[in-house]
Every structure is written in structure tokens, then in C-alpha cells.
Amino acid sequence: MLAIRGGTAFDGVSPVLVERPLVLIDDGRIVDVQANGAPPSGAEVADLGGATLLPGLVDAHVHLVFDASADPVGALAELPDEELLSRMRTAARTCLAAGITTVRDLGDRGYLALRLRDELAADPHPVRRSSRPARPSPPAGATAGSSVARRTGSRVCGPRYAPAWNGVST
């Protein structure tokens, strides 16, 4: 079991921050969030000091395939599907590293976002979990976009605490 301690937590429900939250994670799933709770015996504890914990963020308008060139649509037309999928994987992981756990992709080619969704559904472990990061990202569910809009409820995923990308809803 992993216990993540923060200074405060915004739970998305109450306008009042939870003081000294303890997020308990078992087998990659958030099982409890407590105010001022004590970690269970034997739990690995990640104390984030005064950090404020947040639920995963949602970005409802992304383009996982576009680059920052002057002509992203032209660049899109010139690349093979496998190269675009590779870029989409990178873009999805970049979102995740920023705390964005759900994205809605609004433009690709040939339904590549759906292929990415299916790929992620077939491989629930695309991001590895570190054993003891110095400063992990806030716990979050994992997602990738669009129609790749994936939702995992309380699945934990992030650049450091990321045992699974699991569950799909389109």
C-alpha cells in the first residue's frame, strides 16, 4: 500500500480544503482519502509537505497529433500513421505529467485517436511506477483522448506513481 500525504487537498466537492490529507492507494487504486489520517502499518509513505493535492484535471480540447509548426495540418498529412501514433503517445504522456488525466482529442487523421484508445485499453501498464520518487505528481486517473476520452475513476497514474491506465469510455 502507498500512502501519499499532502498539506491540503481540493476534493472537487467541498469548497473547504481537506487539511493534512492522506491518500491511500492499494494495487494502483485509490481506496481512501482521509483528513489527518495515520498511514497503515507497512505502507510506503510519500510525504509531499505543504503541497495541495488535486483530482486529475480535464482538458476537453486537445489535438494530440498536431505539432507547433506553422502548418500543423500540412505536417499531419505528410507523416505515416505509426509516426503520428508515436507523437500522440508522447502528447498524452505530456498531458499526464502536467496532471491532466482526461483529454478529449478534437482532431486526428483516420481515427488514430481511437487506435490509441484501443492500444491503451489493451496495455494497462504503459507507464512504470518508481519506487521512491522525491516529489511525485498528485495522484490521478489516466487517460488519453477523444474519443480517446478515457476515464478511470480513481485509478492512480502520473509520471511517477503510474501503475495502470485502465478503463475506457467513449
What is the value of pTM for the model shown?
Answer: 0.62
pLDDT of residue 167 exceeding 70, the answer is no
SS3 120: helix
Contact by Cβ (8 Å): 96, 140? yes
Lowest mean pLDDT among 40-44, 48-52, 118-122: 118-122
Q: Higher confidence at residue 159 or residue 66?
A: 66
pLDDT for 13: 86
In this prediction, residue 168 carries a pLDDT of 30
Predicted pLDDT at 59: 92
Nearest CA to 103 among 112, 115, 95, 111? 95
Distance CA 47, CA 89 (A): 30
Alpha-carbon distance 46 to 3, whole Å? 6
pLDDT: which is higher, 41 or 137: 41
Residue 113 has pLDDT above 70, yes or no: yes
